[in-house]
């Protein structure tokens, strides 16, 4: 973590276009701006002084106007299933987390946070009970990825290039990504730049609880995968579980899904946490199938991860299977997702580490909110 020098720009906050404009003002041309941008996206680059491949005068000129922030994990917890939860302390002391999930064939998915806390107040999510502290900057989002690659390298994981370390990037950590839209978009521009880590649109998924106008914006501005935290197909139930539904009820949310531009063979990922006695009945499954009719989608069913802090329970396994069967019989690709990292509170709906300013772990933890269970981008069934 780097202290924030006043009146200097954190160069990690800037997309290539923004960096080019900034350095142009100090007499550095576009070609060298491209080179600088590319170097800034390298894991292990923590300071402008590290850019020894640039001439010293150029480095010094940059350093008069800008600096580089970076993150390092304050703690790492490892699950028996291989999932790692990395907690990062930000420059202002706030804590966020990223969850690194190994998947098949030695691949890795990284679940990143987009805000400190969350204002959306979903009832099953302990981040929602924390309230909202602030948005993450683009640099704080990008730095989670760079710091995780550095961590993987330190763990003995080797890849030919930085872009090969993390196969899928999912915005399902702490916070509602679409409530931090401008910074999310800048971070996506940086992470997807061909001169940077080169995440392609197929490898990035943004999950939302349903901020309808921003879903349209996301579809206009990017071609990343969309995931919807659905959790009920009934307005009254969904409004009880997710206050956002009072502002953007299901009809609007489903219309936004229908209008979302999907590339060839792409589908929307529908996430559905199963809560016993609340949204897990056969009738709930039939209603979900009815509402999703005509929307190219894949459904992930996520039996709730029980927490002492919240009054919900997962359904019995037989009911989970019945729910899945009803959806499958209606033609929906429906998967029951294992919670990853449950023993380190990194799993879906569980608690995520919250470290107080003195560095001790709190007994009570904040929720891992969206669902770090996505191990591959949603594809057409
Ligand atoms: S589930 Fe997502 S949107 Fe809802 S409160 Fe938790 S972090 Fe916020």
Helix (H) or strand (E) holding 117: strand 115-117
On the 0-12 / 13-18 / 19+ scale of CB atoms within 10 A, 315 is: buried
Closest residue (by CA) to atom 5 of ligand 1? 128
Give the Cβ contact number of residue 277 at 10 Å: 10
Residue with tokens 């649109």: 201
Angle formed by the axes of helices 250-259 and 212-221, nearest 10° = 10
**What's the pLDDT at 54?**
93
pLDDT of residue 126: 81
Distances (CA, A) of 61 to 11, 24, 27: 13, 12, 9
| Per-residue pLDDT at 154 exceeds 90 | yes
Give 90-141 pLDDT, tens digit per residue. Answer: 999 999 999 999 999 999 999 999 999 999 999 998 888 889 999 999 999 9
Query: Mutate which of 127, 272, 310, 350 to test ligand 1's pocket (most atoms within 8 Å of Cβ)?
Result: 127
Residue with tokens 């080169």: 198
Q: Which atom of ligand 1 is nearest to the CA of 174?
A: 7
Asked if pLDDT for residue 366 goes beyond 70, the answer is no
List domains and CATH numbers for the chain. Answer: 9-67 (1.10.150.530), 73-367 (3.20.20.70)
**Least confidently predicted of 53-57, 312-316, 364-368:** 364-368
pLDDT for the residue numbered 310: 87
- Sheet containing strand 168-171, edge to edge, reads 73-78, 84-89, 95-103, 107-111, 168-171, 204-208, 225-229, 268-274, 297-303, 333-336
Mutate to test the pocket of ligand 1, among 111, 114, 117, 125 (most ligand atoms within 8 A of CB): 125
Phi, psi of 361 (to 5 degrees): -75, 140
pTM of the prediction? 0.91
Q: 126 CA distance to ligand 1 centroid (A)?
A: 8
Residues serving a catalytic function are 97, 348
Nearest to 337 by CA among 368, 307, 304: 304
* Tokens representing residue 96 in the block: 């966020």
Instruction: Say which residue the tokens 């064939």 belong to.
Output: 105
Instruction: Quick: pLDDT tens for 156-194.
Output: 999 999 999 999 999 999 999 999 999 999 999 999 999
* Protein residues with CB under 6 Å of any ligand 1 atom: 118, 120-122, 125, 127-128, 175-176, 209, 229, 369-370
């Amino acid at each position: 973590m780097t202290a924030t020098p006043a009146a200097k720009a954190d160069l990690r906050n800037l997309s290539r276009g923004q960096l080019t404009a900034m350095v142009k003002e100090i007499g550095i041309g576009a070609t060298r701006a491209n080179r600088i941008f590319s170097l800034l996206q390298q894991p292990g680059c923590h300071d402008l002084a590290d850019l020894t491949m640039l001439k010293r005068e150029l480095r010094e000129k940059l350093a008069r106007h800008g600096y580089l922030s970076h993150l390092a994990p304050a703690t790492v917890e490892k699950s028996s299933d291989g999932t790692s939860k990395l907690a990062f302390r930000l420059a202002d002391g706030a804590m966020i987390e990223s969850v690194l999930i190994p998947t098949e064939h030695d691949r890795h998915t990284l679940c990143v946070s987009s805000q400190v806390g969350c204002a959306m107040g979903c009832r099953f999510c302990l981040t929602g009970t924390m309230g909202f502290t602030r948005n993450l900057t683009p640099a704080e989002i990008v730095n989670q990825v760079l710091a995780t690659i550095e961590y993987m390298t330190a763990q003995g994981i080797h890849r030919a290039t930085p872009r090969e370390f993390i196969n899928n990037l999912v915005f399902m950590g702490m916070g509602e990504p679409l409530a931090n839209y401008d910074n999310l978009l800048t971070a996506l521009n940086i992470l997807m730049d061909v001169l940077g880590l080169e995440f392609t649109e197929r490898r990035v998924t943004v999950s939302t609880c349903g901020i309808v106008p921003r879903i349209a914006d996301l579809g206009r501005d990017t071609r990343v995968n969309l995931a919807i935290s659905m959790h009920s197909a009934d307005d009254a139930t969904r409004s009880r579980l997710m206050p956002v539904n009072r502002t953007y009820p299901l009809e609007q949310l489903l219309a936004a899904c229908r209008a979302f531009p999907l590339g060839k063979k792409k589908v929307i990922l529908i996430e559905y946490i199963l809560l016993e006695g609340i949204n897990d009945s056969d009738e709930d499954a039939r209603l979900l199938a009815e509402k999703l009719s005509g929307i190219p989608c894949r459904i992930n069913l996520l039996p709730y991860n029980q927490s002492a802090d919240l009054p919900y329970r997962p359904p019995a396994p037989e009911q989970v299977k019945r729910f899945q069967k009803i959806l499958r019989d209606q033609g929906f690709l429906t998967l029951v997702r294992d919670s990853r990292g449950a023993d380190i509170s990194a799993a879906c709906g569980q608690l995520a580490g919250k470290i107080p300013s003195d560095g001790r772990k709190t007994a009570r933890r904040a929720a891992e909110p969206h669902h770090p269970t996505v191990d591959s981008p949603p594809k057409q069934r």
